[in-house]
Structure 1
Amino acid sequence: MSDPENFPLVRPRRLRRNAATRRMVAETRVAPAQLILPMFVKEVLREPVPLSSMPGVLQHTRDSLRKAAAEAAAAGIGGVNLFGIPAERDAVGSAGTDPDGILQRAIADVKAEVGEALVVQADLCLDEFTDHGHCGVLRADGSVDNDATLLRYQEMAVAQARAGVDMVAPSGMMDGQVAAIRAALDDEGFADIGILAYTAKYSSAFFGPFREAVDSELKGDRKTYQQDPANAREALRELRLDVAEGADMVMVKPAMAYLDILRRVADASEVPVAAYQVSGEYAMIEAAAANGWIDRRAAALETLTGIARAGADAILTYYAVEAAGWLRKG
């Protein structure tokens, strides 16, 4: 017999020996209720349109949006985050504040369909509604006017609240946007409407497929208002400001390339933290899986687990409904 002194006494593999044991001792668990599905609705469509760069994702009609929202509620996910694509755009994004605009109608449609079964969030930004594709009002020199944009965000927040939204999600990265939106909502009697602040939204190459999803008109970039990918401390500064201004939740976007930022924000945050697995991150998994290079389901679930492990309480992901099914099946 071999000398027992040569054998390890501590054997971590005992807790990995079968699926039941691994499941019992898992340190991080992803639940369907943590998942939020981003959804796109386009005003002029008669039939939903598949996105070439995001397989499985659609630009919805109002009818198909309602059906997809009902499916999301049945899947048990936490919420949906709506983006609207108007028939017409102008310099100040008028369709974004129009009570009859596509996003306001979509909010009302989804609330009528799902009631309290889902948290209905809406993107609060002008980029989908402007003919220049920027997230705010432009000055004569083409730069974004921060404070003039805040006035538009206030109007947009109130329009969404009147349509029935549960939570607004300001994504424009304007200084003071949370405080401005909170003040406008409170002044109009919407103190119960929550704010999910895009606290650390980076100027990222991973947003590319999203531009197709919203038919973006953007020329140039958004580097003067979105964060520099090189910066980490800046995210914590933005966090302090957003919480002080009244954010109910905060978010890091993108997720997978910024897990270190997510961890730092989660460690410092007094409010729940979300992360957005963005279009480019989704598209990479889909492309690799389509080529047979990775297991699609395993890779999707692994990335969602990693985002949760890094500190996300909620995850915006295009896999939300499908992943909820996978999670229920174990």
Structure 2
Amino acid sequence: MAAFNFTPSDPSTFILMGIPSLEAAHIWISIPFSTFYIISLLGNFTLLCVVRKEQTLHKPMYLLLCMLALTDIATPTFVVPKALGIFWFNLKGISMAGCLTQMFFLHTVSVMHSATLVTMAFDRYVAIYNPLRYATILSNARIAKLRLVGLMRAVLFILPLPLLLSRQPFCTNCIIPHMQCEYIAVVKIACGDITVIRIYSLMLMFAVLGFDLMLIALSYGQIIRAVLRISSMKAHQKVFNTCTVHICVMLTYYTPSVFSIFTYQFGQGIAPHVHIILADLYLLIPPMLNPIIYGIRNKELRDKTSKYICCRK
């Protein structure tokens, strides 16, 4: 592989180091990264195509799945191509504007992903708690409006972060020990006063992660109450099967997210490369697993996918 050394005197150029202390293994690390990315693209694009082709799947639940698939395509796409450029060709340079742009889109999509999971929890609550009014409360038009609200929320919440960082002076050697412009890694190389940025990011974490988790817990609390009122074991089993899929998807997203945040805040004894690998697996594993989980657990989607693949062959 050709090696390109970047030693910028211009502080507007950043250096992404990849995974420090594991440079010799970059080529081998790229294999699972690219594999996860390809599987994620195939699974999510297949889901989008199946829902688009099958008129019977044009329902709120499947439209929400499409929204989830779009965020699952976008999330690794903002990270993996640049990471592979570092792993394969040692292309470590990135402009300050490019770095802040990557950060903005990555975190915006993450907030949209969380909003989609909240909407999916509310969808299950309405379907179980008030099934007769489900089509009225959650129409396709209302799902589209909720998607727009989620996008606006994500942009308004995340936009201040790159704007605040763009006003910061950065050290002459702008070396980011990461394979992406991860927010915490960029903040660490800022040379100015970052008190406002830290306070805002802490408020943002509670406003998005804390509030969304609270709404999801509230929705599932109401679902449990509704289920306990049903005496039929068959109905219990049906509700359990429906909700298990959503709970699995939420766990694959929120568990590594919360774990990554806590390891950054309190895991000072953990090696830096462990932080980096955990942060990037959090961006790769859920997008790869989500279409697989829904494909296995949702019979209607599984049947339509099999039909679609057979027709294509």
The interval holding the TM-score normalised by the smaller chain is under 0.3
* Greater strand proportion: 1
* Greater helix proportion: 2
Q: Which structure would you say has the larger RCO, counting Cα contacts within 8 Å and 6 or more residues apart?
A: 2
TM score, norm. by length of structure 2:
0.25
TM score, norm. by length of structure 1:
0.24
